[in-house]
């Protein structure tokens, strides 16, 4: 083999190697590009999943908080008789105690304090007069409500005008907050617009 032939052979081999290297480089570039796109796509999908997880965690936390929330208000009543200027009144001392673990508000506008004179019992049913509405002890003011933190106790008084002595059934109903109604609605699964906490008792005014 002459030097010229060897030179031509070497140049041919060099051209083939360069072509192979170019093919390999092109393939690597395509692989790298596709891999980069896959990584970017995977990163975007991961960010979406993380965003959804954050939303679900927040919703789960809200539901857990509602399930742990226990709105509860206990109401007790102490009646007594007031007399003056030929008028008769039943004085009602009302005690509210927030025995739950949520903040509570008793809406007086939607609550009630009533008394009815007992007339008797017929066929297992209590007969009584129309309820008489009581008035809270306020001077030139309107009672909005009672704000109660967990464990807090509040007292209030009302008077109910009556015309005669006898046995009265006294009933106090406190309208709980909208938040409490929503919590209890979710926990019970029953539709309700408002929740009442209340108590009733019989009171003999004597003669």
Domain boundary among 44, 68, 92: 68
pLDDT score, position 5: 56
pLDDT score, position 164: 92
Instruction: Answer yes or no: do 97 and 46 share one domain.
Output: no
Domain boundary among 46, 68, 90: 68
Distance between CA atoms of residues 162 and 132, nearest Å: 8
Instruction: Answer yes or no: do 97 and 59 share one domain.
Output: no
pLDDT score, position 132: 94
Distance between CA atoms of residues 173 and 106, nearest Å: 10
Q: How many distinct structural domains can be found in the chain?
A: 2
pLDDT score, position 181: 63
Picking from 112, 131, 122, 125, the residue whose alpha carbon sits closest to that of residue 169 is 131
CA 179 to chain centre: 5
Instruction: Answer yes or no: do 24 and 39 share one domain.
Output: yes
Q: What residue numbers bound the domain in which 49 lies?
A: 1-68
Burial state string for 85-97 with b = 16 or more CB within 10 A and e = fewer than 16? eeebbbebebebb
Distance between CA atoms of residues 207 and 201, nearest Å: 19
Instruction: Answer yes or no: do 93 and 117 share one domain.
Output: yes
Picking from 97, 96, 77, 85, the residue whose alpha carbon sits closest to that of residue 203 is 77
Distance between CA atoms of residues 51 and 38, nearest Å: 20
Q: Which helix (H) or strand (E) holds 159?
A: strand 153-162
Instruction: Answer yes or no: do 90 and 22 share one domain.
Output: no
Q: Which two tokens stand for residue 182?
A: 């929503």
Distance between CA atoms of residues 93 and 113, nearest Å: 11
Instruction: Answer yes or no: do 2 and 95 share one domain.
Output: no
Domain boundary among 29, 49, 68: 68
pLDDT in tens, the chain (207 residues): 555 554 555 556 666 666 666 666 566 666 665 666 666 776 777 777 778 777 777 776 665 655 455 667 888 999 999 988 888 999 999 998 888 877 788 888 888 899 999 999 998 899 999 999 998 877 666 667 778 888 889 888 999 999 999 999 999 988 877 666 666 666 666 666 667 778 899 999 987
Length of the chain (residues): 207
Q: Which helix (H) or strand (E) holds 55?
A: helix 3-68
Burial of 73 (0-12, 13-18, 19+ CB in 10 A): buried
Instruction: Answer yes or no: do 29 and 83 share one domain.
Output: no
Instruction: Answer yes or no: do 9 and 86 share one domain.
Output: no
Long-range contacts of residues 183-187, Cβ cutoff 8 Å, at least 24 apart = 183/66, 183/69, 183/71, 183/102, 184/71, 186/66, 187/66, 187/67
Instruction: Answer yes or no: do 166 and 139 share one domain.
Output: yes
């Amino acid at each position: 083999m002459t030097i010229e032939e060897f030179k031509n052979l070497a140049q041919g081999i060099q051209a083939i190697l360069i072509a192979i290297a170019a093919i390999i480089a092109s393939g690597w570039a395509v692989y790298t590009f596709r891999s980069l796109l896959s990584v970017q796509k995977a990163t975007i999908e991961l960010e979406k999943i993380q965003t959804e997880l954050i939303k679900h965690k927040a919703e789960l936390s809200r539901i857990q908080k509602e399930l742990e929330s226990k709105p509860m208000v206990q109401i007790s009543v102490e009646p007594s008789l007031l007399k003056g200027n030929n008028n008769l009144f039943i004085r009602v001392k009302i005690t509210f105690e927030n025995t739950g673990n949520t903040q509570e508000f008793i809406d007086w506008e939607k609550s009630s304090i009533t008394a009815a004179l007992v007339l008797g019992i017929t066929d297992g049913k209590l007969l009584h007069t129309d309820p008489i509405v009581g008035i809270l002890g306020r001077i030139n003011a309107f009672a909005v409500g009672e704000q109660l933190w967990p464990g807090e106790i509040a007292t209030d008084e009302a008077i109910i005008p009556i015309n005669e002595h006898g046995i009265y059934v006294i009933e106090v109903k406190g309208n709980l907050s909208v938040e409490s109604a929503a919590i209890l609605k979710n926990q019970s699964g029953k539709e309700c617009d408002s929740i009442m906490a209340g108590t009733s008792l019989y009171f003999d005014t004597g003669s």
